[in-house]
Amino acid sequence: MTKPPNANAKKRAIIHIGKYEKEVLKHWTPELIKALADDMLDWFRADSSRIWLQDYFNDRLISRNSITRILNRDSYFAEIYTICKSIQESRLFHAGFRGEGNINQVIFALKNVSKWRNEPKEDPDKEQPVEIVMRPMQLAESDKPTDNKKPR
């Protein structure tokens, strides 16, 4: 019986590399970021039924942490992202206005994603009530400091 040629060879440890590691931990160069911004806007504008911007990032395995880092690094991406968020807000509003889908879900999305509120914002030019606190010039006999001893 003959042994296979590498029967006595030492086995190497298997180092697992994540299946999506190259996609998820991508190094975002300025060129890649600008291409991503252009693709994001093209994707969002191509189909008016797309109302959720996060779907774009989910399909490309881009996390919210990565989005935040990219937003902080590139002003062009930040502007395109803001435009896409405005489109998203408009589409959500019109979907709710036309009664498409669940109106409560649309309201919830507008409140959480677009910072809509039921209460009107306070006008900064409006005069706010002033609270006046009057203090006596001299303390009353009962207000004078004590030596913290309990009365007998």
| Tens digits of residue pLDDT in 4-39 | 666 666 777 777 778 877 777 778 899 999 999 999
| Tens digits of residue pLDDT in 132-148 | 777 666 766 776 666 66
Domain limits, the chain: 21-120
pTM above 0.95, yes or no: no
Judge whether 43 and 87 are in contact, CB under 8 Å.
no
CA atoms of 92 and 29, how far apart (whole Å): 32
CA atoms of 111 and 118, how far apart (whole Å): 9
